[in-house]
Amino acid sequence: MNLHKLLIIIGTRPELIKVAPVIMELKKRNIFDYKIVNTGQHKELLDPYWKVFDITPDYDLNIISPNQDLATLTSRALLSINDLIKELHNKGEKPLYILAQGDTTTVMASSVAAFYNGIMFLHLEAGLRSYNLQHPYPEEFNRRIAGIVADIHFSPTKSAKNNLIREGVIESKIEVVGNTVVDALNYITNSDSFTKVIFSDHRINDCISKGKQVVLVTVHRRENQNKNLENLIFALKKLCTDNPDICFIWPVHSNPKVKLPVLNSDLSKLSNVILTDPLSYLELLKLISLSKIIFTDSGGIQEEAPSFKKPVLILREVTERPEAVELGLSKLVGCDPDLIINEFYNFHPDYRNVPNPYGDGCAAEKIVNAYLKKDSILFKS
């Protein structure tokens, strides 16, 4: 058996969360002809998450270096993945497939490396589009590149599939499977550890034990740095001041361009604001489940919140995940202070008889079925 038939490449926390259900499904079926690569794109944020899903990477590439720009990150990722492929090839273990998830630099580099080496590329969460290369930047670019070379597009929704068809992708290459984030969420929330979550930041525990309403805030995208971040801080300061009995919790991203302006802002002086370190996946899901409303520019949270029937104000001008917006479960507000404040008071979605737009929690099963079918057809031909 070729233990490198499938190379699964992961670089960031959201990628691991969404790829983990596929790996667990492979294990469930006693399929072990794969290896897992950790590029380390978000090394500090990613490291604790391997244990959550009981997954251990086989290769660590450590592509991150201090203060590197996107060009450097991209070149390091592409060269490191390419070097690994050459190493495996020299051992007679060159993979037949590479699978990567989403829209990060790791995914884009994986797709290019697969193309250059004649390896079939399987794109998980394919077809998401904002049709604006600056929003999100560089993710929109990354996923379009991955889409050009993909041999199988695992699309989370019919909308994503239609995007690909409009771009000329052959329909037989597209599998609508739902979003694996729902699989991961179901796995976590059905565990005993989820019901017993104790937050590492005692201030959050105190807030919850006192029965206070909770508002979750997360920001990390490049387009929300600088002026947009200043506008968001201004709007939140107003909301926090006017609602002293509500607890606003902001797990602050480790990027200094986000972290320093937030920690040095007036929000740090308000008693009902908790600026905390990034949360574990269990803590984050627990906080989503407890929130009155969520402010975020995170794609993952946009997908996770409907499972908990929690309204989301999306801190972006456009979203490549329009399904929840179209159903009235989320709303785009950008970083316009007036709009943020107004919708905080007036956005009240109706979840009655509305299905989860991101799937039924069986995406991993459908993905593995499609992969095995593709593999079987290739080996028969």
Which H helix or E strand runs over 73? Answer: helix 70-90
* Residue 246: strand pairing partners: 213
- What six digits make up the tokens of 193? 């550890």
Which H helix or E strand runs over 247? Answer: strand 246-251
| Residue 368 contacts residue 25 (beta carbons within 8 Å) | yes
- Cα 292 to Cα 202, 272, 308, distances in angstroms: 20, 15, 11
DSSP 298-356: -HHHHHHGGGGT--EEE-SS--S--HHHHTTSEEE-TT-HHHHHHHHHH-----TT---
Tell how far CA 307 is from the center of its chain. Answer: 15
Measured from the Cβ of residue 99, the count of other Cβ atoms closer than 10 Å reads 26
Distance, in Å, from the CA atom of 165 to the CA atom of 47, rounded to the nearest integer, reads 37
Catalytic residues: 103, 125, 139, 220, 222, 253
The helices-and-strands tally (H runs, E runs) of the chain is: 17, 13
